[in-house]
Amino acid sequence: MGRALFYRWLFFISGLIVLALGFTMIIKADRLGIGPWDVLNVGLFKNFGLTIGTWAILVGLAVIVSTMVFTRKIRKSAHS
């Protein structure tokens, strides 16, 4: 069990590294353009100074929290 868990974590961390490398390469490639969420994160980085990764985390958390609040309001009104 321990060995399988180790390989799962190794595969997971390797995937995150490859994903981060891909995002970095897309942002560095000026002529290809970047996706809309990356544009938002780069714009926040240039205007407010935190890193792009930090903004990605903060924006993701804001989306999750707003979705939780919104769906909770719908559930409460639907059951009332």
The per-residue pLDDT for range 17-67, each reduced to its tens digit, is 998 888 888 888 867 777 888 889 889 999 999 998 899 999 999 999 999
CA distance 55 to 27: 14
Q: Higher confidence at residue 77 or residue 3?
A: 3
State the pLDDT at residue 38. 84
Buried b (16+ CB within 10 A) or exposed e, 33-45: ebeeebeebeebb
State the pLDDT at residue 72. 80
State the pLDDT at residue 27. 80
